């Protein structure tokens, strides 16, 4: 009888072990050194910061879901200000009117320049801010001025009006073309890469950092949503935050894609304080 019971238990344990082995997690979190981290640990560390730069893949549903989850959970711990690359500074008035319920979603869609994936990926964040009366800041330079830098260099911005210049970081911006992420842009873009392309990227980074610094009340936590490349390796926006306000405590999150979620690939070490590894087979939002 004891032998039969033992065999049954063994069979049950084998079945449970097999089922556990077959589980397919959609993501895992690692720290900068490649150590697995629980969500609760990440949240605790992020709650201590002045600024959280949440680097996403723009078409990744895990990124967008975790942005909302982190925002909701940090809202229970800190006074929050939210902001995003995906909204440009000259649309702040339209955003403010939507948040205050002066206009509805249809009006906001008409008046503001919204990304094609806004409804699926960013509306939940803005609607959360609207429902919970949180400030939400349009942080990015209007695209037309970044394009102007790409075509004609920084000097072209000198001809703009005072109002137009108010939608970007103060000129001239600090600029270091030797930052590894900027150098890598030229390598990645091949024949399309140029020093002016890097300068256009820098104008975006500087403007987003300037927007964060100037909309961060004492004691609050600013969560900023941006493409991962804008904050990877603590460069981009993070580098400009150090130029504008070195005393800020900044934590970074990034998103990467891997075939194996068991460990962090060597090339992804050090990209951020917390690295969200998403299964490379994950479906995209567009």
179-232 pLDDT, tens per residue? 999 999 988 876 566 899 999 999 999 999 999 999 999 999 999 999 999 999
pLDDT classification of 266: cutoffs 50, 70, 90? very high
pLDDT over threshold 50, residue 242: yes
pLDDT classification of 1: cutoffs 50, 70, 90? low
What pLDDT does 14 receive? 46
CATH of region 27-279, choose from 3.40.50.11550, 3.40.50.1220, 1.10.3720.10, 2.60.40.10: 3.40.50.11550
- 51, 241 Cβ separation under 8 angstroms: yes
What pLDDT does 16 receive? 41
pLDDT over threshold 80, residue 238: yes
What pLDDT does 22 receive? 60
| pTM of this structure | 0.91
Q: Which residues in 6-37 are b (16+ Cβ under 10 Å) and which e?
A: eeeeeeeeeeeeeeeeeeeeebbbbbbeeeeb
């Amino acid at each position: 009888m004891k032998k039969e019971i033992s065999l049954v238990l063994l069979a049950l344990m084998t079945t449970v072990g097999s089922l556990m082995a077959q589980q397919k997690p959609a993501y895992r979190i690692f720290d900068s050194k490649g150590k697995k981290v629980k969500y609760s640990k990440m949240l605790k560390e992020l709650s201590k910061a002045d600024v959280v730069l949440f680097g996403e893949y723009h078409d990744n549903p895990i990124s967008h879901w975790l942005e909302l989850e982190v925002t909701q959970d940090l809202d229970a711990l800190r006074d929050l200000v939210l902001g995003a690359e995906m909204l440009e500074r000259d649309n702040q008035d339209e955003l403010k009117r939507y948040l205050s319920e002066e206009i509805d979603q249809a009006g906001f869609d008409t008046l503001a320049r919204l990304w094609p994936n806004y409804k699926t990926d960013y509306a939940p964040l803005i609607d959360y801010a609207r429902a919970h009366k949180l400030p939400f800041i349009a942080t990015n330079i209007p695209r037309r001025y970044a394009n102007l830098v790409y075509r004609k260099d920084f000097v072209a911005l000198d001809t703009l009006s005072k109002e137009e210049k108010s939608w970007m970081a103060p000129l001239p911006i600090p600029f270091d073309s030797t930052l590894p992420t900027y150098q890598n842009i030229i390598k990645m873009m091949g024949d399309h890469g140029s020093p002016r392309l890097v300068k256009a990227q820098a104008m975006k980074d500087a403007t987003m950092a300037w927007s964060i610094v100037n909309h961060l009340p004492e004691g609050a936590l600013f969560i900023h949503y941006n493409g991962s490349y804008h904050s990877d390796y603590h460069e981009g926006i993070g580098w400009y935050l150090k130029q504008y306000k070195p005393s800020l405590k900044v934590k970074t999150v990034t998103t990467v894609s891997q075939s194996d979620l068991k460990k962090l690939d060597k090339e992804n070490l050090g990209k951020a304080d917390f690295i969200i590894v998403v299964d490379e087979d994950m479906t995209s939002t567009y």
